[in-house]
Structure 1
Amino acid sequence: MAIPVETFQLKPAAQGTLQARIQQMVAEGILSGRFRRGEKLPSSRGLASHLGVSRITVTLAYTELVANDYLSARGRSGYFVSDSAPEPPAFGSLAPRGDKIDWDAALTARPTRDGALGLVKPADWQRYRYPFIYGQTDPHLFDHANWRLCAMQALGQRDFAALAQDQFDRDDPELVDFLARHTLPRRGILAAPEEILITLGAQNALWIAAQLLARGRVAAVEDPCYPALRGLLRQAGADLRPVPVDEHGLPPQAIPPETRVIFTTPSHQCPTSATMPRTRREALLRRAAEMDALIVEDDYEFEMAFLRPPSPALKSLDEDGRVIHVGSFSKSLFPGLRLGYLVGSARFIAEARALRATILRHPPGHVQRTAAHFLRLGHHDALVARIGRALGERRRVMEAALARHGLDIAGRGAHGGSSFWMQAPDGVDTDDLAQRLAADSVLIEPGAPFFAGDAPPRRFYRLGYSSIPVERIDEGVARIAAALAPARAAS
């Protein structure tokens, strides 16, 4: 790989001759790790022209760097970073110098403070032997071969327009058509193309809904709930009203009467896994109508209903256009795909489309068309069935392990899902528990971030089973039980 000549800039305040300054510039690039072994430097003529110096000055600098084994000369090919050049220091590249800005005063928004990022998962989770973390994909279950074939098909000449053109604010018609004719009817939802918007995952869909519906308004959220949702709503300037959930999810009568928009996960409450029964869903719709409030339904894990068929979506019961439905392919395909959708009245979707266009125009056309092919050819349904069988087996093994080792389940999905909501003994702080378990190669998710308020309960935690091999589940649960043993004995 050639190092661009634009990378090289002489520092005006640097001391020494031009030759020495060029030598220092190249050596610093190598020592900082910016220039790597085997990379080609600009020609002496090209660098001289770029820097406005004589060619002999650059040639002498290069020659000295060759003598010091920073560079090597290869016949007529030019100069390269030497294979035996000094290694950059272990601490990595040097940080940018100088930052005198008062960022607390300069920033008009603080997403890190407001919790917009939600939960933080370790990037190296795969190195842990017992990763009970939620939402990660088991690579052994994914259909790599057919996804690759669909991606290649989307790269072909027939799909060139979907790949290369700026669609401005439009979505892939094949993907929208599949959602309208196949995916949504399975949730009991009938929607026209103008009532569907493709998003960059469910998070992007929730952000759009928050911006359009909750700015400056009272918004009710479940407590506990998806942590990033509270951050999105705070960024939108909403007046948050957390409503404690029970074993059936969000209680409609507990929603404050001044609420204008309600965010809920009726099919699979996050994180307790409670499923809202139909009678309560109907009561929630009546309550929203009484208050003239809108409802944003996050239907984030309906494909993982392997125990029994999923309940119809709340949107399927909506006769007023009051419900905005959010869906995602992150759980059934893979999180890195970042592909989701919004379903709502045409007027709402038109405004959502215009807002999306101001930020990112549309999700990448190639990604949309690849997903459309994967869905249309039946690979998605086959993948969901395979994942369902695998998760069903892992759930069975995990339930047995949790019972055998005496751990307390606080919530489990009636239809399936991929996690258990757990409760530790009194006095246990699961943040501390998670740190101790990580040292024993076990990953769990502390529950405190899911709760609103400055003093959330500390004893809850979540155990996911989507990414841990079935043969490691029992030993992983045993290690959690051993870490909790002193607290259980004292309680």
Structure 2
Amino acid sequence: MGLATETFFLDPDAAGTLQARIQAMVAQGILSGRFRPGERMPSSRALARHLGVSRMTVTLAYTDLVADDYLIARGRSGYFVSDTAPQPSGHVPAPREDRVDWQHALQPIPVPAPRVERPADWRRYRFPFIYGQTDPTLFDHANWRLCALRTLGQRDFEAMTADHYERDDPRLVDFIARHSLPRRGILAGEDEILVTMGAQNALWLTAQVLLGPDRHALIEDPAYPPLREILHQSGARVRPVPVDAQGLPVEDLPLADVAFVTPSHHCPTSATLPLARRRALLDHAARHDMLVVEDDYEFEMSFLGPPAPALKSLDRDGRVIHVGSFSKSLFPGLRLGYLVGSKPFIDAARALRSTTLRHPPGQIQRTAAYFLELGHYDALIKRMGRAYRRRREVMDAAVAHHGLDVAGRGSFGGSSLWMRAPGLDAAALAADLRDRSVLIEPGAPFFAEPAQGRETYRLAYSSIPEDRIAEGVARIAAAIDARRHGP
């Protein structure tokens, strides 16, 4: 690979002749690791033209660098970084002095809340009970590739490349309106749908549009950690409401302007809000002029029974804002979701979105639209449902066999179990298990007061092969026993 001439600049403040400065520039690039062994240098003619010096000056500099073994000359091919050039020392040159008072220049930024962390190399662990990652053995690589190639064709050139300003891909919006939403009992027009960069982006847009320092927001406790950060950053007064085995309790619910809920599949306990509570929540919202934001994630993973009706499907006066996402059902890196709400709300969210990213990339929207339209998405969901059902059965059997304490499990499906290890610190347990090639997710980050979740953890089965689940659960049980009774 050739190094571009545009990456070479002479420091106007450097001392020495032009030849010496060129030598120093190249040597520094090699010693810093920017220029790597085998990479081809620009020709002496091209570099001389770029730097505004004579070709002879560059040639002499290259000759000295060859003598010092920084470069090697290869016949008529040119000059290359030598395979035996001095290695980068790891020393990073001191940056220029920063004289900006950043404490004064920056607006106050909230301290990030605790997050659910996982190793970047989680796939090398043999027993990864982690949530929300893609299983490559289940994903439809071939048809996704075909849909992507179709999007790259001349017929879809405009949809892929044009700046559509605030508008979304009409094919994707049409599919969401005519297929995705009716499955949840929701009827919405195209002007009531906004495509987002995943559910988290949808929640951020919603909070920015609806909340401010003079507003009050309710959030479930425990809850999705980034949502708690989003609400605090909005400046609103946030009130956590502890959930029970059936999700959010509606009796004596505090007054608020907006409530953020996960009724179909509570995050992270997997509890499903009963129909009676859903109706009671809507009645409460109507009486007290409250809006409700429904995060309907993972409803597709309902392999144990049909999913409960979406809260938005029961809404008769436009109080519910519905958040959907393809990130869990397709792959998290897709970052594609949507908002559904009354037109005035969608107009405001669309206007806010346009100030930051205009719209999600056209290529991604059109590829997803084809994948959905051609039936590949439905086939994928069925395949995942069958696999998750089998994994869930193995997980339930293993957990029961070892007597582990289940704190919550989705009655319709899902991809995880919410667990408890009474008397133990789940974070310390997770650290022990990493040494045994087992990954679990401690539950403390999900709680407004992390200490309340000290004994909880989540076991997901979306990323672990079925034949490894039993042994992985056995290792968890052994680690719990060792923590309680010693090795």
- Using the size of structure 1 for normalisation, the TM-score is 0.95
Q: What is the rounded CA distance, in whole Å, between the counterparts of 2:130 and 2:212 in structure 1? A: 33
What residue number does 2:404 align with?
A: 407
The aligned amino acid for 1:412 is R
**1:53 pairs with 2:53:** yes
1:247 to 229, 245, 248: 245
Query: Following TM superposition, by how much is the alpha carbon of 1:53 offset from its aligned partner in structure 2, in angstroms?
Result: 3.0
Match of 1:256 among 222, 235, 254: 254
Identify the residue that residue 235 of structure 1 maps to in structure 2.
233
Counting only pairs closer than 5 Å after superposition, residues 119-130 of structure 1 correspond to structure 2 as 119-130=116-127
Please give the alpha-carbon distance, in whole angstroms, between the structure 2 residues aligned to 1:488 and 1:279. 41
> Where does residue 188 of structure 2 map in the other structure?
191
Q: Which consecutive segments of 4 or more residues in structure 1 shift more than 6 A?
A: 92-95
Q: Which residue matches 1:83?
A: 83
Partner Cα separation in structure 1 for residue 194 and residue 315 of structure 2: 19
State the distance in 1 between where 2:200 and 2:55 align. Answer: 54
User: Would the aligned equivalents of 1:243 and 1:254 in 2 still touch at CA under 8 Å?
Assistant: no
Aligned 1:62-461 pairs, distance under 5 A: 62-89=62-89, 96=95, 98-99=97-98, 103-110=102-109, 113-115=111-113, 118-216=115-213, 217-257=215-255, 259-426=256-423, 428-453=424-449, 455-461=451-457
Equivalent residues of 2:445, 2:453 under 8 A apart: no
CA distance in 2, matches of 1:292, 1:114: 31
1:480 aligned partner: 476
Using the TM superposition, give the Cα deviation of residue 92 of structure 1 relative to its aligned residue in structure 2, in angstroms. Answer: 8.8
CA distance, structure 1, for counterparts of residue 265 and residue 170 of structure 2: 29
> Cα 1:73–1:419, aligned 2, differ >3 Å: closer, same or farther?
same
Given that 1:136 and 1:334 are in contact with CA atoms closer than 8 Å, whether structure 2 keeps it comes out as yes
Q: Distance in 1 between matches of 2:316 and 2:94?
A: 57
Equivalent residue of 2:10, what SS?
A: coil
| Helix, strand or coil at the partner of 2:251 | helix
Quick check: 1:33–1:93 contact (8 Å CA) kept in 2? Answer: no
Query: Using the alignment, how far apart are the partners of 1:141 and 1:486 within structure 2?
Result: 35
Paired residues, what number? Answer: 485
1:253–1:287 Cα contact (<8 Å) kept:
no
For the residue of structure 1 that corresponds to 2:272, the secondary structure is: coil
1:467 CA displacement? 0.4
Does structure 2 conserve the Cα–Cα contact (< 8 Å) formed by 1:168 and 1:357?
yes
Matched to 1:271, the amino acid is P
SS of the residue 2:359 aligns to: coil
| Partner Cα separation in structure 1 for residue 33 and residue 353 of structure 2 | 38
Which range is displaced more, 456-465 or 184-193?
456-465
The amino acid across from 2:301 in the alignment is: M
Partner secondary structure for residue 466 of structure 1: coil
Q: Any conservation in 2 of the 1:220–1:255 contact (CA below 8 Å)?
A: no
Q: Deviations over 1:427-459 (max 9, x none)?
A: x11111111211221111110100003643311
SS at match of 1:252: coil
- Inter-partner Cα distance in structure 1 for 2:358 and 2:78: 44
Q: Is 1:10 equivalent to 2:10 in the alignment?
A: yes
Counterpart in 2 of 1:36?
Answer: 36
RMSD: 1.9
Partner of 2:330, secondary structure, is: coil
- Cα drift, residue 300 of structure 1: 0.7
Structure 2 residue runs of 5 or longer lacking an equivalent are none
Give the Cα separation in 2 of the matches to 1:133 and 1:417.
Answer: 13
Give distance in 2, aligned partners of 1:68 and 1:264. 66
Shift in CA distance, 432/454, structure 1 to aligned 2, threshold 3 Å: closer
Q: 1:74: how far off?
A: 3.1
CA distance in 2, matches of 1:352, 1:302: 24
**1:470 match:** 466
> Is the alpha carbon distance of 1:41 and 1:326 closer, same or farther for their aligned partners in structure 2, counting shifts above 3 Å?
same
**CA deviation after TM superposition for structure 1 residue 351, in Å:** 0.9
**1:425/1:488 contact within 8 Å kept:** no
Letter aligned with residue 444 of structure 1: I
Q: CA deviation at 1:42?
A: 2.1
What percentage of aligned pairs have identical amino acids? Answer: 67
Match for residue 22 of structure 1? 22
8 A contact 1:261–1:295 mirrored in 2: yes
Deviation (angstroms), 1:215: 1.9
Contact preservation (8 Å) 2:257, 2:291:
yes
CA distance in 1, matches of 2:416, 2:204: 25
**Superimposed CA distance per residue, residues 142-162 of structure 1 (whole angstroms, 9 cap, x where no aligned partner):** 000000001111111111111
Conservation of the 8 A alpha-carbon contact between 1:134 and 1:418:
yes
Deviation, structure 1 residue 347: 1.0
Q: What does the per-residue CA deviation read over 1:99-149, in whole Å, with 9 as the maximum and x for residues that have no partner?
A: 5655444431425x133x843332111011111110001001000000000
Q: Per-residue CA shift, 1:193-239, capped at 9, x if unaligned?
A: 11001000001100100100122211000000000001111111111
